[in-house]
Amino acid sequence: MSVLPPVRKDRIISQLPKCFSKGATLHTEDGFNAKVKTACQEQRTGTVGFKISKVIVVGDLAVGKTCLINRFCKDVFDKNYKATIGVDFEMERFEVLGVPFSLQLWDTAGQERFKCIASTYYRGAQAIIIVFDLTDVASLHHTRQWLEDAMKENDPTSVLLFLVGTKKDLISPAQYSFNEQDAIKVAQEMKAEYWAVSALSGENVREFFFRLASLTFEANVLAELEKSSSRRIGDVIKISNTTSNLYATSKKKQPNCCQ
Ligand SMILES: Nc1nc2c(ncn2[C@@H]2O[C@H](COP(=O)(O)OP(=O)(O)OP(=O)(O)O)[C@@H](O)[C@H]2O)c(=O)[nH]1
Ligand SMILES: [Mg+2]
């Protein structure tokens, strides 16, 4: 019997959500990977449905990391700044292509004095959200350092990166278009997917987290499929060894293992 409550109706994903900008994403396909869709239909997703994927959120102080998470997870917005001390986390449960999928969102402190505590939680992330304030260009430039610090604890070949500009409500469309060029350049250099959001109005917040959940889910299923296909190759080799010449194989192997 499952002890977990059912997945909320508004956390069900049946199609790959669109990216924010085609020029700032590594995933330009319109839908989920065909192998992933088949695996989900045939219920061959292994441990994905039981795992919790870790997502860390980093960036300068007061750029809006906590507000971004709170808008998505609790649908609230607080205009008063309350610094995060160390770290905080929220759990979000989704259902992607019929498979349960959980994200653990780690909200870290941007203040220098808490950075030391926060960085101890960076390890083992499957996705990293690097946040900057669209009205503060210095916070965009600092994102490279935040990424470098977070990557020291993670595997660059498998982690998904997202560069997110917040407080879109505070900037005029003309100013936004001007700043976007810089942000997209940074995202391309980092190999991150770029998003611009507002926690105050909620603009793009849900779309962003749905996209993140979908891409993290897809990466998990692909890794699981790769693992199970390499296990199958190993099995075939073992069988052919034993069937070719059982006596010769065991004879040859014996001295090796006894030395
Ligand atoms: N107008 C507007 N204000 C925002 C938005 N997001 C955050 N803020 C404000 O920015 C301030 C800082 O927000 P936080 O979410 O606490 O910032 P943080 O990045 O978590 O800061 P640390 O925990 O110190 O690292 C608060 O006063 C928020 O109300 C937004 O989308 N629009
Ligand atoms: Mg915070």
Which numbered ligand comes closest to the C-alpha of 114? 1
Per the CB < 8 A criterion, the answer to whether 71 and 205 are in contact is yes
Pocket of ligand 1 (CB under 6 A): 61-67, 78-84, 109-111, 166-167, 169-170, 198-200
From 57, 58, 66, the mutation candidate for ligand 1 (largest count of ligand atoms within 8 A of CB) is 66
- Hey, what's the torsion of the CAs at 67, 72, 74, 75, to 10 degrees? 90
Please, how many CA atoms are within 13 Å of residue 150, restricted to the half-sphere of its CB?
32
> HEC states along 163-223?
EEEECHHHCCHHHHHHHHHHHHHHHHHHCCEEEECCCCCCCCHHHHHHHHHHHHHHHHHHH
Q: In the predicted model, what is the mean pLDDT of residues 144-171?
A: 96
pLDDT, tens only, 209-256: 999 999 999 999 999 999 887 765 555 545 544 444 444 444 444 444
> What does pTM read for this prediction?
0.89
Higher pLDDT, 253 or 101: 101
From 58, 78, 81, 131, the mutation candidate for ligand 1 (largest count of ligand atoms within 8 A of CB) is 81
pLDDT, tens only, 52-68: 999 999 999 999 999 99
